[in-house]
Amino acid sequence: NAGVTQTPKFQVLKTGQSMTLQCAQDMNHEYMSWYRQDPGMGLRLIHYSVGAGITDQGEVPNGYNVSRSTTEDFPLRLLSAAPSQTSVYFCASSYSRAGSSSYNSPLHFGNGTRLTVT
Amino acid sequence: EDQVTQSPEALRLQEGESSSLNCSYTVSGLRGLFWYRQDPGKGPEFLFTLYSAGEEKEKERLKATLTKKESFLHITAPKPEDSATYLCAVQAGTDSNYQLIWGAGTKLIIKP
């Protein structure tokens, strides 16, 4: 099994450009999420989805859009890139949203996309 | 405000030198505490989940413990391959509104 696959691994954008970060998982997980990781800070949740057709905002959603048309895919769109969006982005999935049942499903992470906005 | 703090930020040990990493938290309604390992250029990898004070989990040279205010990740006789950043995350809130709060991590370096 490939697990969680993210593409691209690296990307450089100019301010104002748009792009889509791809995320796919082959574990039939209902829950998928996007995080950003910045130096000296904990992971911050951008958007998440509890199933196909359902998405919701996380802690830092501004400037990003998501959609979930299939169980497998959860792309993240940057609408108009800004230097503040320079970061490493991780996609993560789990069997269920952590805490949705008495069993807390651990997250499975992709290997990240390193994005630089100049 | 819910908060998770990991210390130290970085820790350098000699191979075989045991030590502990700390994850302290102030949250309302603890539902679980997670430990992850992250290697450079990779995503975090799940290690343990702890649910209640007094609980312990072990995996090879690692042992995680939990109290009402903090968790420790004990590393016994570490090897260079244990070098990584260790992340702590706390799941908190009520059934209808809960969140996962992450610490900034501890970078562990084991010298041969």
Q: Which residues of B touch A104 (CB under 8 A)?
A: 31-32, 34, 49, 51, 91
Q: Which residues contact A80 (CB under 8 A, 6 or more apart)?
A: A16, A17, A18, A63
Query: Is the CB of residue B75 less than 8 Å from the CB of residue B18?
Result: yes
What confidence tens digit (pLDDT) does each residue in A36-95 have?
999 999 999 999 998 999 999 999 999 999 999 999 999 999 999 999 999 999 999 998
Q: What is the distance, to the nearest Å, from the Cα of residue A15 to the centroid of all Cα atoms in its chain?
A: 20
Q: Which of A44, A104, A112 sits opposite B43 (nearest CB)?
A: A112
Using alpha carbons only, what angle is made at residue B101 by residues B45 and B13, rounded to the nearest 5 degrees? Answer: 50
Q: Which residues of A touch B43 (CB under 8 A)?
A: 4, 90, 92, 109-112
Query: Is the CB of residue A77 less than 8 Å from the CB of residue A113?
Result: no
Percentage of chain B beyond pLDDT 90 is: 84
What confidence tens digit (pLDDT) does each residue in B7-49 have?
999 999 999 999 999 999 998 888 899 999 999 999 999 999 9
